[in-house]
Amino acid sequence: MSDATDPWLIVGLGNPGPDYAANRHNVGFMVADLLATRIGGKFKRAQKAQAQVLEGRVGPPGPASRRVVLVKPMSYMNLSGGPVTALRDFYKVPMDHVVAVHDELDVDYGALRLKLGGGDNGHNGLKSMTKAMGPEYHRVRFGIGRPPGRMQVADFVLKDFSSTERKELAFLVDRSADAVECLLAEGLERAQSAYNS
């Protein structure tokens, strides 16, 4: 069982490289980048895994702050499980202190859903993480909605957010980062009641 001194592993899911940076599928990276800014640090290449990491603390100074390791896997989405598991083992993070931040097709654009465990809903990053270490980790699900018309899901998630969506994107990424911090500080139920929409 975990306790308050155990670190949290916050995994922003995405694909590396500038071609993918503004894709819907990369919103996990966007949230991780904002959390890094809040911590006041910069990502660096992990020694133990194909990932970028940043160690720090989130929350107010004192006993309420939480030790975190922010992670952006650099292995491409469908191979995220390997780097995440290696870092979880290296930092000795309990499973209930692992959080994946990711895009979610079955949630309307702009809505958030937090949960513990569950299926992968066809999300290749979650599929890889679950295969590597089981499903019992937290998820912060950033709604991107379903593709319009007959557009294939793969095409939709690998496209940039639309100009209309981008008007709200910075606010929504900020809200997602708040939700992560609330989850760590106050637990899943409080975070769900505050942020699930």
Residues with catalytic annotation?
25
State how far the Cα of 84 lies from the Cα of 138, in Å rounded to an integer.
13
Q: Order the strands of the 44-45 sheet from edge to edge.
A: 44-45, 51-58, 66-73, 8-12, 98-104, 138-143, 112-116
CA 60 to chain CA mean position, Å: 21
